[in-house]
Amino acid sequence: MKMTWRWYGEGNDQIKLSDIKQIPGVEGIVWALHDKMPGEVWQPDEIAAVKQQLDEYGFNMDVVESVNVHDDIKIGLPTRDQYIENYKQTIRNLAPFGVKVICYNFMPVFDWTRTDLFHPVGDGSTALYYEAAKIKQDPKEMADYVMSFTEKYHMTFPGWEPERMAKLDELFEKYRPVTKEKLWDNFKYFLEAIMPTCHETGIKMAVHMDDPPWDIFGLPRLLTSGEAIDKFLAMVDDPYNCLTLCSGSLNADPKNNVADIVRKHCDRIAFAHIRNVKHFDNGDFSEASHRDCDGDTGILDILKAYHDGGFDGYIRPDHGRHLWTEGPGTVRPGYGLYDRALGVMYMLGAWDSLDKFDHK
């Protein structure tokens, strides 16, 4: 496997590339142009500027995360064809810089959903938290809470662009006729349109799981289970149509066994997110450290499934807790330095042990 680290870019991330360089085993930076709106073409000079920053520290830029899909594509409006052409041009512009994988999602309106970005977890640290009861209320309450961090701390969140969130009522109205079946149809249309460009450039499209893996606020979600993943991969059965398998997103539903999904589809997983989740009886969940016993996700079993499958794709520590001096205004929610660095070492330690002692 190839260890990577998600970085939000200069001026948008308190963590420096020089900090990341000191974490053993990290080979690449998972990056994006976070000031680009969904549907805009990523220009070569913008990509080149990021490459220059990463080259200084010897990091590859093989994985891009958050080339977001325009809502018109998800809704299936007549304007989708132009936005698909824009997406194809972005793929072509990324290829000369060595990009191998694009991580994206196909979630309506909200890319991810949490009700508390800095929830105390009992040891002095904080973590992202999902309170099920709040999701039954007005979506504007959650949106206003998340967007307050954007305004107060000058942070941008992929999928939570202020320009989109300002039109929340309009977005919900546009999605009203989009059933789950229609969303599947629109997804297939998008993928079939861009697969020739993926073959042309050698770039894999790796869809991220829906987070959390169930319908919210009346909006349909697709990639929510092993059965849904089976359907997705069969729907466009192409080696360039791949997964960003996120252990935390899937295991927010405790019925999902992520290790079994890895064993079944390891050859179609281009990118792996390793995140641990702690469940509560009332349907709430909290994110936890990457250590297996600190959550309910089965991190060690998942890593062994990747190892047994000969996984040679990209992997990264996903959301970590906020430790020590990290808190609102000093760290991006879920993306602190310390707990993710601990997660890197935990994963590499498990992998090294499997390399040395696992005799299949």
State the residue for tokens 């089965």.
298
Q: Check if 246 is active-site.
A: yes
Q: Which pair of tokens denotes residue 289? A: 């450290």
Marked catalytic residue, from 265, 307, 319, 322 = 319
Marked catalytic residue, from 246, 266, 290, 314 = 246
**Phi (first) and psi of residue 278, to 5 degrees:** -110, 125
What are the residue ranges of helices labelled H in 205-284? 226-235, 247-251, 258-265
Q: Which residues contact 194 (CB under 8 A, 6 or more apart)?
A: 84, 87, 88, 91, 205
Instruction: Please provide the DSSP assignment of 55-123 as one string.
Output: HTTT-B--EEE--PPPHHHHHT-TTHHHHHHHHHHHHHHHGGGT--EEEE---SS-S---SEEEEE-SS
Q: What residue type is 116 in one-letter code? A: D
Q: Which pair of tokens denotes residue 222? A: 């697709």
Q: Check if 319 is active-site.
A: yes
For 53, other C-beta atoms within 10 Å of its C-beta total 17
Q: Which pair of tokens denotes residue 186? A: 């629109």
d(CA 297, CA 167): 36
State the residue for tokens 């989740």.
277
Q: Which residues contact 166 (CB under 8 A, 6 or more apart)?
A: none
Q: Check if 273 is active-site.
A: yes
Ramachandran area for residue 9 (φ above 0: left; ψ -120 to 50: alpha; else beta): left
Marked catalytic residue, from 71, 87, 129, 208 = 208
Marked catalytic residue, from 306, 314, 335, 346 = 335
Q: Check if 318 is active-site.
A: yes
d(CA 23, CA 341): 6
Marked catalytic residue, from 318, 322, 339, 346 = 318
Marked catalytic residue, from 119, 265, 273, 322 = 273
**Phi (first) and psi of residue 168, to 5 degrees:** -60, -45
**Phi (first) and psi of residue 181, to 5 degrees:** -65, -40
Q: What residue type is 206 in one-letter code? A: A
Q: Which residues are catalytic?
A: 208, 246, 273, 318-319, 335
